[in-house]
Homo-oligomer: A and B are copies of this chain.
């Protein structure tokens, strides 16, 4: 299995990625997927979210995460795409796809991939609010705990 890894500025075309993942395969029984979005909080309206990454290391870390998943579940393919740059509420940020002969493996691998991606790939988010203030998002303990379950 060769994972498909990409860091990109543009929106994620889920149908195109599904087609890429399943091209030429008939052994796939299920694809699990997670799509992350920029969420707006009415209590503190977000104007935009800027995503920064560490070129080179990011792709290497994403490949390593996918390789780890392939060692744990019988994957026929997986896709990790993460956006960088300036995003607005409602925009997609991240796509994880995991294809397997078996439904449970596809779903478990999907959860694993997004948990590890959140805690082990070098991306940083800065929020800009409607009132003009900015702040760097802090890492959440809950994310580390979710990732350490695996």
Contact = CB atoms under 8 A, between A and B. Distances in A.
A35 B35 CA distance: 14
Total identical chains? 2
A111 to B, nearest CB: 5
Interface stretch (A14-22, A66-74, A78-86, A126-134): A14-22
A18 B26 CA distance: 24
Interface in A17-55: 18, 22, 25-37, 39-40
A75 interface: no
A89 B22 CA distance: 12
Interface stretch (A1-9, A56-64, A102-110): A102-110
Contacts of A107: 34, 107, 110-111, 114
Q: Which 9 A-B pairs have the closest CB atoms?
A: A33-B33, A26-B40, A29-B39, A15-B15, A26-B89, A31-B35, A26-B90, A28-B37, A107-B111
Given A27-B40, A29-B36, A33-B34, 20 more contacts: A14-B15, A14-B18, A18-B35, A22-B37, A26-B39, A28-B39, A30-B36, A30-B37, A31-B33, A31-B35, A31-B37, A32-B33, A34-B103, A34-B106, A34-B107, A36-B103, A103-B114, A107-B110, A107-B111, A107-B114
